[in-house]
Amino acid sequence: MHLENAKFCEVWRSNMRRIGVYPEQYMITTDAPTSRSLRARIPARECLGQSLVYCVISQRARGLSIGVNMNPDGLCNFDCVYCEVDRRKSSGDHNVDVARMRLELDQVLDLAMTGRLRDLPPFHVAPADLLELKEVALSGDGEPTLCPNFREVIEGVAHVRAAGRWPFFKIVLITNGTGLQLPHVRSGIEILTSYDEIWVKLDAGTQRGMDLVNRSDVRIETVLENIVNLGKERPIVIQSLFPLLRGEEPLPEEIDAYLERLKALHDAGAKIESIQVYSAHRPAIHPDCGHLPLKSLSKIARRVRDETGLNAEVF
């Protein structure tokens, strides 16, 4: 598994170098139900406030990911030091317009499934295997579980899938885990099948680490409790981003505490399918936040595997 992932990452990076693009920063969006517009070579987050559905080549998805922006208003209860969202351009809509989202999703699926995406820049220079649809991600400009009509959005995506116009696709919910206990969120999650996935953020092992990286009022215990409760019901993937902060790597005691947290989650019965270890994008979005060297990320992943027995991959 680790070798497969290492090989994929190597091929992915070399392909990206060859075509000269930094793929997670480029996207295609549909601006309005009646028209399609291409927004090539524009940082991805700059477009999110104008549209509900977008398309990126994602390393962690291992190919094409169609994203649904669950927070057109940019609402989030974290202020991660590495966050790429430009909230000055977010719309004031708290709810997702589900009818519009379904229409846009159908349009982007049409482009992806019929292969017409590869005619459009910047995707025209991407290798064919990276344009294979891997998932529809519920993510966007903020924290998806804060979306007031969370259940309706999931229902909308599931209806598009169930309509059978396109081959079955996986739905992935990407969340910071803080709202997983909310009744409307639990009810939305029940719509997901066992083939779908939930990726939950855990960037720290201590409250101090979380305060430094995620900069939120939410207590780390809340996130951990939510992970345990959900993880007892269905397997989850943990996403851990370790940034370089003002040139400093995470403190050794922070990594020790993080490993202890993972062990405690596992011991409490959470089914953790895998852990994605990665760092902030290059180039850095914020001057204080940089990319942790691959060697350091690999060391963290190796410790996760050796000390917790869980599967960890570096991206």
Radius of gyration for the chain, computed over Cα atoms and rounded to the nearest angstrom:
19
Alpha helices in the chain (DSSP H): 2-19, 44-48, 98-114, 150-162, 183-189, 207-213, 220-233, 252-267, 294-308
Tokens found for residue 82? 């590495």
**Given the complex with ligand SF4, which of 139 and 274 has the nearer CB atom?**
139
Cβ at position 128, least distance to ligand SF4 in Å: 30
Q: Which is nearer to ligand SF4, 91 or 107 (CB)?
A: 91
* Least CB distance to ligand SF4 at residue 124 (A): 29
Token pair belonging to 209: 């680490």
The CB-side HSE value for 47 (13 A sphere, CA atoms) comes to: 25
To ligand SF4, the closest distance from the beta carbon of 290 in angstroms equals: 16
Nearer to ligand SF4, 49 or 142 (CB): 142
In angstroms, give the least distance from the CB of 184 to ligand SF4.
19
Cα-based angle 89, 98, 187 (whole degrees, multiple of 5): 110
Write the DSSP symbol of residue 249.
P
**Is residue 312 within a helix (H) or strand (E), and if so which, with residue range?**
strand 312-314
CB 76, min distance to ligand SF4, A: 3
Q: Which residues are near ligand SF4 by CB under 6 A?
A: 76, 78-80, 83, 85, 142-143, 176
Residue closer to ligand SF4 by CB (options 160, 189) is 189
The position carrying tokens 């895998």 is: 274
Query: 117 vs 138, which CB is nearer to ligand SF4?
Result: 138
